[in-house]
Structures are given as C-alpha cells and as structure tokens.
A and B are shown apart, each in its own frame.
Chain A
C-alpha cells in the first residue's frame, strides 16, 4: 500500500481541485434521473457514458503507451458477445456474464499482443486491424457457436436482486444510466491510477521513445502487454454494457471496423493521452452525431430562416441532410483534426497558456 500512499502524497494542489470538481460533477450526474424523465435525453447521456468508457479504455494503450490500435472492436465485440451468449445460451445473468467477457478479452488481448507487438508504428496499426477483422469473420462464420450473421437477441433481462429485494427490473433507462455512469467513473479512476503510478511513467516513456525506454530498463513486451490488457478489459466492459443496454448483438454492430475507428476518434477529438480528453470527445461527438442523424441541422436552418422548407433547395435539404450525416460528421472531424491537432482539450490548454503568456 506504500505506492497508494505516495500516490496521494504526490498529489499537488491542482489535482485536489480537480478531484473536488470531479466529485461535484458526479454528485450532480447522480441526481439527473430524478428530474430528467425524457427517455431520449437519458439515452443520449447513456451513449455519452458508453463513448467515455470506450475512449478512456483506448487512451491507456493509444494515448499513454502510443500504440495506436485500430482493432479495439475485437475487445468490444468479445465483451458484448460473451455477455450475450452467456445470457441467451446459458441463462447466466449479465452481471456474471461480464466476468466471462473480461476473461475472454484478457485471452484475446494476450494473443493479439503477442502477435502485433512484434511490429512498430504503421505496421502495428495494420496488424491490429487485421486481427480484429479475423475475429469478426470468425464470429460471422461460426453460426453454431455465435449464431452467425443472425446475431443474438436478448429475450429479457433477469431482475437484479440483492437477497430477496429487487433492486431493479431494467424496465426503464434509469438503471442503465447509473451503470453507465459507474463504469465511466471506473475507467476514469483506472486512468488516473495508471497516470499516477510507475505504469504511467513507463507507458509514456514507451510512447515517447521505445529505444530510449528499453535502454532505461523498461521491458517493452511486458509493459505494452500490460497496457493492452488493461485497455482490452475495460473495452470489453463497454461491450458488455452495450449488449445488455441495446439487447442485440451481431457482427456488424459490435465487431466492425467503424467501432474501432469511432473509439480512436473519441480520443483524437477530445485530446489524446489526457485523463479528460475522451470525456470531452464523447461530449462533443455523441450529441453531434445524434443531431446530424435526426435532421436537427435542417430544422435549425429552416428555423433561422436561411432557407425556406417549401423551396426546392429546402425540400432537398429536408430529404437528404439526415442521410448525409456520416459525410458531414467526417468533414467536421477532419476540420477539428486540422485545426486542433492536440484535440479540443489540447487546444483549450494552448489558448489559456497563450492568454497567461499575454498577461505576463
């Protein structure tokens, strides 16, 4: 426990302020379901939590250790499938199934790590994509094991009980809200612990210069695999949570390449290698993608009177803008990356630093 004590002894005044702010935000978030009853708003919040979990998990491997995996769908899918298969095929409640998912993710991570960490830089990225695709194709083509392309539909969740008391029967979104919040906080806590320990130093040393790290006594294989395992297990948690929330998994929704890319984007947009970067990424990307998908942009254009909905162009926008949401989303992401290479958090930090510099 000495390490934990030194952790807190090392905490500077600024960190204390951050901790208090985080606790206050958490307390506020806990009360949200008491006055927000709109299921769509809760759904958005749950998606933000889910994205935060995914982003924070990837961040440990990609942001801190500098190993840009674009195959995290493998772990997301592993968690989702393990939980769902235990639930539907073995009638095991998801809160036990999650552990199966974690164990499976651990095994998959060690296999992938032993293959991919022989490679560096772009070769590692390509290998991580390839291995995730192999896993997706296996899931798709082993129908006797995974139900193949049909996917698995949850026919119902058992109520969560402690003793005889029913805590929740999962009939509303509120229990999912709290689970998502708890998991998001867990991943943030894990990231914080990593950053403030020997692991954090070694991970970042590997990110900055592998050969230098190696010459300073850091075993590259060991510490890259530790980062991967932590990252994979947390991602698998996100997958399990997604599976029980949505109640359906199939290879394209939980194993596909766009999940991997989405995970990376959350970090890049928010700010890579920082504790709160992925939170900001999730806060920006989830509402943006929802707004584009549900045609809020077209409605906004009509509302401010830029184009009349009755005109020919207005009709075109109304019909097509929502369909083009991936295109617009992509363009916006490119713009953010071009103008804020360190992510939104890095950009804000630079702005405040410049302002401080200006005053002095």
Chain B
C-alpha cells in the first residue's frame, strides 16, 4: 500500500507555478529520490507535503488520510517528519536537548525523552557531543543532528532535504550509510539530493522535477537513460 500519495498537486506563487500537477506515490519502506535542476520546485513540494504551504490544487494523502490544510505540528504527530535544506539547529540548546525536543513529541517525560534522544545520537554517532551547544557544531555534524532530531519524533515517513549538501565525500558516505540504516528500520524516506552518484545508489525509485512539473519517474536506471532528463540536465541543442 502506498504510504504517501501526491495527487495532481500544484502550487502557485502569484502567476508562477512552483509545482504544476505533480502526482506520484511512495510505497511503504522504499527510498524515493527527488531530483531536478535548481528551481525545479523540490523544496516547494516538501513544503506542500509537510503543511508549510497549502497546495493550491490537488491533494496529499498520507496513510490514506488527506493532509491538505494540516499544520506542520499535526503532520509531525501523524508520523511524517522533515529536515531542512538550510539546517536549523536550536543553537543555544545542547545537542542532546535539540534531540529531546523531537522526542518530547511522543512523550511527556523528560527522562524517557532523554533516553530516546541519546539512542538517536548514538545512531548518528554524535553521542560524544551530547553536551555541546548545537550552534557550535560544524556543518557535517549539524546535518547529522538534524537527522537525529527528526528520528526522535519516531516518523513513519522521513523527508530529507539535501542532507548531503555542503559535505565532503567522507561525510557524505557516512550519511548514505545512515540513510540505508534508517531504511533497514522500516522507515520510508523521500530524499532530495543533487549528488547523482549518491541518489543512484540509495534510491529505489526516482522522480525528476523540472520547472515545477514531473518530468520522469522510474527506477534509477530508467531515469538516467531517459532522454528528457538528460536534456533537462545538460541542455538541448
């Protein structure tokens, strides 16, 4: 059964269509790659799915439930969590406290939240830095913190917005392993990524957006051999 269905979603800003009639579905447990050139509307689509923007048209179904018009906090409570392209650490709080905020979404006890948070920090290998202020972390660790924090909200579906952006190859490799580990825990993921090698490796399916429209969909092999996709990425003559 599809965990997430996007049906004819459009988002207009004035006359500009950031997303135009986009439809696709995610199966339980898979990793969906979402790619496209800059300005293709990938992050806008994330915002429409997670409640930051109401879609202008169409609907988003999560676990068969219509999500349009739900506030982001409700979306998170229902089990859909996202990270941010530009990381948003709670700078003055410690690394552990950051993850605890996520864990407190599911529990009222600080003690349980602390234990849950520590568990997630171990998953991303940040437990050594638990007491550090989050604002002082380097970019690679901030990205990991972001992932630990959303994992602590115990999502069924995780939307990762360029978690590898700005990372060096070693750090990217760690994140790729992390994403595969998360898949191993049965959490469905949708991943926006520019690093084609990474996206080819992790994705079960890929959707390509271009100028707000869905250009192609298929398994990684199909997508890279699609002439439309090649034209969109390399230009047409």
> Which of A's residues lie within 8 Å of B, judged by CB?
2-3, 6-7, 9-10, 196-198, 201-202, 204-205, 208-209, 211-220, 273
Contacts and interface: CB of A to CB of B under 8 A. Distances in A.
Contacts of A217: 73, 76-77, 102, 105, 153
A68 to B, nearest CB: 16
B93 A2 contact: no
Contact of A6 (B73, B111, B149): B111
Given A196-B110, A201-B104, A211-B52, 16 more contacts: A6-B111, A201-B93, A201-B100, A201-B101, A201-B110, A205-B101, A211-B84, A212-B89, A214-B71, A214-B72, A215-B50, A215-B81, A217-B77, A217-B102, A217-B153, A219-B73
Contacts of A3: 108-110
A216 B52 CA distance: 13
B22 to A, nearest CB: 21
**Most B CB within 10 A of own CB, among A6, A197, A216, A273:** A216
A205 B111 contact: no
Given A202-B104, A209-B90, A216 B76 contact: yes
Contact of B110 (A197, A213, A214, A220): A197
Nearest to A208: B90
A3 B88 CA distance: 28
B82 A9 contact: no
Contacts of B105: 216-218
Q: Which 4 A-B pairs have the closest CB atoms?
A: A217-B105, A208-B90, A217-B76, A212-B88
Contacts of A2: 109
A197 B109 CA distance: 8
Nearest to B83: A215
B85 to A, nearest CB: 12
Interface of B: 50, 52, 71-73, 76-77, 81-82, 84, 88-93, 97, 100-102, 104-105, 108-111, 113-114, 149-150, 153
B52 to A, nearest CB: 7
B104 A215 contact: no
A204 B82 CA distance: 20
A208 B77 CA distance: 21
A202 B72 CA distance: 15
Contacts of A212: 84, 88-90
B52 A208 contact: no
B103 to A, nearest CB: 9
A204 B90 contact: yes
A208 B101 CA distance: 12
A217 B149 CA distance: 11
Contact of A9 (B92, B111, B113): B111
A215 B149 CA distance: 10
A348 B168 CA distance: 39
A214 B75 CA distance: 10
Contacts of B84: 211-212, 215
A261 to B, nearest CB: 25
B104 A209 contact: no
Contacts of B76: 215-217
B90 A10 contact: no
A79 B96 CA distance: 39
A353 to B, nearest CB: 12
B90 A6 contact: no
